[in-house]
Structure 1
Amino acid sequence: MKTSMEDHPRTLRGGPLELKPTRQRYVKTGASQLLEKRKENVTAGEELQAQREVFEVKRNSLRLRRDEVLHKEKHLEASLINFDKFLQENDAKCSRSITKAEKERQAGLQKEAEAQRLSRRCRSLDGRRRSLQLAVERSALYGRFLEQLEEVRALVGRFETLLVTRTQLSEREGQARTLLDGHRGSQQRELDRQNCLLMHHNNRLSQLQTELDLSRADRLGWESRWTHIQNTAAKETLLLGQIKTGTLNLFQLAGGVLGGDQGVEVDATETQLDRIQIFIQKQMDIMNEINPSDTLFG
């Protein structure tokens, strides 16, 4: 552009101004490229701002989701720990119940054996009674003689005692059987209840484990997305830095000043682009003033 400024006085004096066609095409192409670059920079800045806002929304959403997943995972782990303690306590109670039921079963078996022994004893005494009764009937003819004997009274007393004993043994046998049946029913009901409770807790444990696995898989998916977004943001940040660097270089080539009262801040990219546009417009005005009939765009 220094050459153009030197040639300008000669044009005013009426001297010929010769511009080579190749030089003119080069100036037109460079200006067009600068305008296109500015448009691309503006479009890229708008897209980058929109992507930055979307990225900020996604990042906040992911942070909330990650906190929720971590909270849910801690809650599930605490539930598993409490449930494991509950299972241990329940196993101990079940073991004590089984031990108690076994003792009651052994006691029932002993009572049943005692009842069977007493039953056999009763049957033996009953057979003895019938034998004695037959003997008494056969000896009925000699009853008046036996009445004088003390042994007859003792025999009758013994017989009555045996009848009372038989009745008592029969009652005890019935009570023992009733108690044994009650113990058996109670033991079976307790075992059924413990089995149902254990099955319920096992199902609950399986459900909690499944929820924990799903929660961990969900967390891994969100962490993978978070990593992808961070990588994308890093690339976009690098691209923004390259755009700012290119804009700063163009600004300095256009004679721009950085810092100071009249200068522009390094990070003021939009202001730098405005100054570049002004510089290009001035150069175009100079070219139009040099040759009004030949514009920059033909």
Structure 2
Amino acid sequence: MEELQQRRKELELKEGQLKKSILKFDKFLKDNDAKRSRALRKAGEEKQQAAQRVAEAERLKEEIAHLLAVKDKLQWQLERHKAFPEYLQKVLEKTEQFQGIPELIAQFQALMATQATLAQRELFGQEAVEEERARLQRYTEESSNQILQQNNRVAELQAQLEQAQTRVLELESNWVCIQNTAADKTLELGRIKLAALNLFQMVAKHRKLPADVPMEDTAAQLDAVELCVVDLNDILANFRKGEPTPVPQPETTAASRSETDPQLTTSTA
């Protein structure tokens, strides 16, 4: 039993060592896999970085070529513009206004900016002038149309005025005729009133009536004359009733009676 116990302990110890060995081996495998993955990932990254470096190198080569081209162009421009600094130096030597070429260039740039501003203002001014010219053109056209319409309206009003003047002349002529007719009628009325007054006065004198009728009351005067005529007609009718029957006489014409008896004509009248 002691031996078995001893062997069990040994087996347990070996089992523990085996488990540890298995765990270590497993850890080793895992570490190995992790290292392998890291190595693969690092290799991929290094490959990608190498590709990026190659691309960057190509880009840098292209940029260097472009910069060399720009350098050559700038060198060419420098050689071409080499006379300008000499010219500016000569200008600077002839004038005492500037202390150096940079100050001269700054003044030139300020003048160029002022010129650009003035050119912009001139452009705006030209646009404003064009707008004003277009508005003036529109206003002129509208004014011409309004003047034409006013002229047409004036012509219409002139025609209406001429028609009105013609109508006024016609009305004035008619008014003159009416006034003349009214004057004639007034004169005739005055004569009629005077004749009625004379008749009334004769009747009043003949019948010895009071002349209390106003001179302007022609109707009352004619009424009095009418009453007198009616009375005379009644008297004449009564008188004719009391006369004997007249003896028949040879018929004579009114002309022969007028010629033979002028008094008869007078009494008839």
Q: TM-score, normalised by structure 2?
A: 0.40
Structure whose alpha-carbon radius of gyration is higher? 2
The one of the two structures with greater contact order (alpha-carbon pairs below 8 A, sep at least 6) is 1
TM-score normalised by structure 1 residue count = 0.37
